[in-house]
Chains A and B, each alone.
Chain A
Amino acid sequence: MRLPKFEYFTPKTLNEALALLKEQGEGAYIMAGGTDIVVKMLHGRLRPKSVIALQEIDGINKISFSPQEGLTIGATARIVNILSHPDILQYYPALTDAVKVMANIEVRNMGTVVGNLCNAAPSADTAPPLITMGSVVVLTSLEGERRLSLDEFFKGPGITAMNQGEIMTSVFVPLPQPRSGGSYKRISARCGVDIAPASAGTMAVFRDEICSDVKLVLGAVAPIPLRAYRTENLLRGKQWTHELIQDAGYEAAEESMPISDCRASAEWRKKMVAVLTRRTLVEAYERSKKN
């Protein structure tokens, strides 16, 4: 397999990258870690006129956290650096859950979280936990910067709300609320390395034994990472019981819209959505006791 021909640019500043992106127009693609774009090119699914690599731009590879402000993950921050970040493990364990099972060590050493979002696969592992955490993406163009809730970012498989000329420069994750807990779980034939045919991410807030607020996002069972609003409504304001968790599983399975493909049948995916939803709810509750 050979890569198709393309022009390659390594801008040294963000402004230079944005100017290049405008000048090159349609057919110009941004590359962070390269683990998605290079595979797409090898498979002939993408034939860029030019590739603009972000790796030499200073300052956009940072992961910054403060217990007052929250977490910011820069465009070229590697997945491996999220995995080894002690504050992320403490404050955002559901994100650690996700990056732990993504691809293999080599791909985690190369790939980025922002790239995982921009690639917009319905199975993107970082999307469910980041959406449930209320994350906001920062989209920068020559005209300036706009912020968009990650919840509104995904429009279809490989399709996002990003406009031509924009680069996602970072993703911001707010601080978790007191007495909240998050969890992300997936199920797949190889328990990691492979692409999950079903996953679930939960963030729940508790007041005594009542679930006062909750977000549930299902991965790989709809054209985009899917907010399960009906299941959230079922859980919100309710006494936390085994029956409630059981019912939430059934509701989430109902609400999911999977297809059958090479990885799994739609029927099996719906069953797994129920299982994963329940497992994440149980873990989210346990973790909420620590916050």
Chain B
Amino acid sequence: MKHRINFKVNGDEYSLAVEPWKTLNEALREDLNLTGTKLGCGTGDCGACTVIVDGKSVSSCLTLAVSVDGKSVTTVEGLAPSGDELHPIQEAFVKTGAIQCGFCTAGMEMAALHLLNHNPSPNEAEIRAGLSGHLCRCTGYSQIVEAISVAAETMKNSQSEEEEQ
């Protein structure tokens, strides 16, 4: 039996009828055509499918779509909603060369967003802890860690500029 779910993705309201065995990852990619979120291992070990549900980062491959009824989901597409201007985290990934094949990038960026929302000025150890369980098979971890510290600086500066105005 299908279940009707109403939920927000990147601020937009959606209403879907889903079978209970459909994962959030499948609903995002197949029903909403939001293919920025990847599917890696499918068992919560690699971090590639990470999205944010009600402020908490989760593995979309382990989340049943029915369970997000009434909730608010942010995916990598939500980082740059206009499609023109990138989010500071994405800018920093580009600038520091933190993207190689790109498959882990969406999950890494969502983990970075979750980390910086909870800790705006993480040190290197905290960044590494915040990315634990996110695998990059190109092994470009150093640049990813650097990207997140660059993003933290940019976000802090724009925050203080806003406060001054």
Contacts and interface: CB of A to CB of B under 8 A. Distances in A.
A106 B21 contact: no
B133 A193 contact: yes
B114 A105 contact: yes
A104 B62 contact: no
Interface string A172-211: 0000000000000000000011000000000000000000
Contacts of A3: 21-23
Contacts of A109: 56-58
A2 B64 CA distance: 12
A72 B111 CA distance: 30
B52 to A, nearest CB: 9
B66 A1 contact: no
Contacts of B111: 105-106
Interface string A6-29: 111010000000000000000000
A5 interface: yes
Interface in B1-60: 1, 3, 19-23, 42-45, 47, 50, 56-59
Interface residues of A, number: 28
Nearest to B135: A193
B44 A39 contact: yes
B63 A104 contact: no
A57 interface: no
A8 B44 CA distance: 21
Contact of B63 (A1, A5, A34, A105): A34
B1 A107 contact: no
> Contact residue range for chain B?
20 to 34
Given A7-B1, A104-B133, A107-B59, A39 B43 contact: yes
A105 B122 CA distance: 15
A107 B44 contact: yes
A253 interface: no
B132 interface: yes
B134 to A, nearest CB: 7
A8 B64 contact: yes
A4 interface: yes
Given A8-B64, A38-B62, A1 B42 contact: yes
Given A6-B20, A39-B62, A105 B130 contact: yes
Contacts of A51: 20
B132 to A, nearest CB: 5
A55 B145 CA distance: 34
A35 B62 contact: yes
B50 A106 contact: yes
Given A103-B133, A106-B133, A8 B3 contact: yes
Nearest to A100: B129
Interface in A99-116: 103-107, 109-110
Contacts of A55: 67
10 contacts: A1-B42, A42-B42, A53-B67, A80-B56, A105-B57, A106-B58, A107-B44, A107-B133, A110-B59, A193-B133
Interface of B: 1, 3, 19-23, 42-45, 47, 50, 56-59, 62-64, 66-67, 111, 114, 130, 132-134
